[in-house]
Chain A
């Protein structure tokens, strides 16, 4: 593609973007002369330039549009929804052809008659007697305006002057002064404000070879901005990445050499500055993505019969180009969701005492090393009960788990695959692929999605996007002699355990290793086990626990050692390594060694770590103090396991001969004072061959209205148990307690089955 065609494409696309913005604004103020002039100009420019390149489809389309726009501009027609829709249709057709030219170098075959006829028919109201004369402007594309009726000429001419007076700051013509000057001299179109190019900035010398390439280059320098191919920017970013790596290596290699220190420090600074500059060059304002929404919101609202006002804030906030591309789809989906499911129909809103027009707000701002993009609607909000019921119905959560979950946790369920709260599937959203796609896409680029909602008040969806992807700070950890990089963003804290501490304080509940971090249970993942590394480090060395919080999953990653934190350059993985599913990339470290970058979310999933809401630590500690007093346990041993029985429920500890145990069916029962109680025999004492006269221990407890017996091998102690709080939540872990510094399972008395309904004879037998 030659330089001029590319120039044409870029310019036309810019023009159409502008046109799209103006069209949606036009809906609010259909008489705005400046908007009309701007829209007219966009189409007019395309029409004016296509002739040079011989694009006849574009020319006939833009011609039809120009005629209609001319009438609007002249005030012979007033813009209404139908006209704006037709013009949007024109816009889409033009865009599609431009895309074809860009990808295939030609505008291709296509039938534009429908679009053109629609545009023409809208003019018919004004041109009733002439409409038959010019039904297919396709053929009259070259010099079409000659066919315009005389009345059109005059009116068009008048408005040309009129528009000028609106914009030319006081140099108004006589004609324009009559009617157009009320609009004032303010120029409403920001794009054209920096209109003055420096004169002579690209004056060419006479003898220079004037081929078009050098011309284009010199001409471009006249503007203060320069177009740079995105591939080049990507390459620059890669190269800067390499430079950062080399710098890291040089810093390490020269750290001992005093003569080099100054030099390497300088290299360090320059590299940092260069990195920042290149990153900045890749930044684009979010308006690039936001600008698509006025149209989308308008179309959707119309389609769904809703009234929605779009407000946008912080459009100047900048984000890396590639990230911006990546959030386009999730954001579009969220906006669709808000309009489809969030904002109610005007009647419903009015019935609820809200204004009929809903407000959808898009807000972007920078927060440290992240950019936050929020989609806020004032719609019906998400009813937590509805989410819960749906999740239970879809078997995404058990009833018990749902009962224990906080509202916030329940809300997060909408991010699960296969979840959709829409009662009816519409063609806008609600196909079952919804918020999980949004979350996946955002997490793919290292971002996070949060949702807040209040029933009846509205919903806020918050996307938290990192400023850049390519270079991230990371902690290098070692496991079985290998290095791995752990993104700093998910790292909460580091805990060092000496060999003895590791042995004593890492506790096992069934097969799950746990660590008690300030009174809260933290599930652990041993990196070497997860990766099935051969054990190279003996058990008698210390360990480190990296406390991670990945997408709401909080856990401790147990590693053998730590190295310095480094800025690492993320390199893509080969498909073979990608298949493992635990790594998000690879990098070269300062010492020249390779390291794989761990994906903490994937690690948590692989290790089946459950989602736990983030709660303030203080809250968790409050709970601990509150419940400490009423937690005394009888510590017993059943077979080889320790168990705790709540002391308050214990009535007696009976030492009885085994022969006194009787059975109803298969259930062992015991006569206690004058009633029959069921026996729980978890340790299987009763199944072991018995010697005559051997004794056994039964702990008789109260469980509600009944009494039950627990067969134990030994009674160890009575101790105050500290309730264990599950790490990350304020919920007391069910079924476990902390006794004598060890995590101990609590016997659940209610699970001891009741006595079988006795048949009278058996009952008699026993009683007798």
Chain B
């Protein structure tokens, strides 16, 4: 694999008040790598990926995304957000816009694409997640699985180089989880750099290059899937695995 460095986190710390939610995070992610982050709730895994596109601000250390360091400078934040797509647990589609408009909004206003071109591209991605037939409906008319796929298409329309997934299947009914995971697997096979916070261990086994286990704001263990499941070192990882597998 080419080792073009996409994301670099060095000694990153963050506190919510007194609570140390990220404690000395060091992480390097290369182009095309798929990272799965798991851990108990409150372990800081969501906060970690939300720091990468500055939905949360880190307080110490450095985060460098594609050579741009995240600072308070709004231009660096804008540039990085343009390269990083994000999918949320609660989908967060814009309920007042049709699915197609959800997808073409940012390309039109941020990328400055002509309307027709943006819509064409949106249809392309909607086809890829297999909901092009729903393009003119509103989010509330879609099932959870369809909404999450639309949200993935919305992120992809910005043609990001990195995709962040924050528990993308946790809010879904069980029978809809697979359709979303299938889309994500397809994306992974296409070579996208992905960081996925999830408890779907089957997905982790299938696509992850590396699984990171977090607890109390720290990275406890980071290994390839085989070693992670077969030879976890730390007691905390073992306990966690025994609870979710």
A and B co-occur in one complex:
no
State the B residues within 8 Å of A (CB): none
State the A residues within 8 Å of B (CB): none
